Amino acid sequence: MDEDRRRLCQVMGAAVVGAALPSVGCGNGNGGMTGPHIFTTTFKAKDIAMNNFAFATGPGVNVNICRDAGGLFAEDADCTHAQCLLEFDDQTNPSAPQWQCNCHGSKFDFEGNVINPPAAKTLVHYQLTINTDGSCTFDLAKIVDPSTRTAG
């Protein structure tokens, strides 16, 4: 799939997910919660391909639900340097996708580890649950170890 079409699919998917998330305020996952911190996606876990992700957004939150060989995980989709939205790069090295920040050049591996500054902190990972209907629920108040995976 060419890059323009891939980006369009990502944006359209984000719009669908964003419309389904609660429309009340919450923090960005780095503290300062002022409202709900538990979100459920409209997409299903089974629809997330290996080494790929689905994007969930809502008021004050951007999260990537990702799948790797270990399972599914939820990580912050905003750069830890200046909170710019990260972009997915699976073209540079398809076997090792990464996140890049077009604001200041930071790069993260797929698991959220910094591979290029100015960002100095890894991406935050959140507790992820797969519901009986296959949708994903993540909790911004429950930060987990980056190695944590959920079967699904």
Of the candidates 57, 114, 55, 46, the one whose C-alpha atom is nearest the C-alpha of residue 87 is 55
Q: E strand or H helix at 127, and its extent?
A: strand 125-130
pLDDT at position 57 is 84
Q: In a 3-state reduction of DSSP, which class is residue 46? A: helix
Q: Whole-angstrom Cα distance, residue 20 to residue 6?
A: 22
Triad 13, 98, 82: Cα angle to 5°: 80
Residue 88 lies in a domain: yes
Residue type, 114: V
Residue 150 lies in a domain: no
**8 Å CB contact between 83 and 76:** no
Residue 149 lies in a domain: no
pLDDT at position 113 is 96
pLDDT at position 94 is 83
Burial-class residue 18 by CB neighbours within 10 Å (0-12, 13-18, 19+). Answer: middle
| The total number of structural domains that make up the chain | 1
Q: Whole-angstrom Cα distance, residue 68 to residue 111?
A: 9
Residue 103 lies in a domain: yes
pLDDT at position 76 is 96
What CATH number should be reported for the domain holding residue 138?
A: 2.102.10.10
- Taking 70 as the pLDDT cut, the residues of the chain under it are 1-35
**8 Å CB contact between 96 and 138:** no
Of the candidates 120, 124, 128, the one whose C-alpha atom is nearest the C-alpha of residue 145 is 124
Residue 84 lies in a domain: yes
> pTM (2 decimals)?
0.76
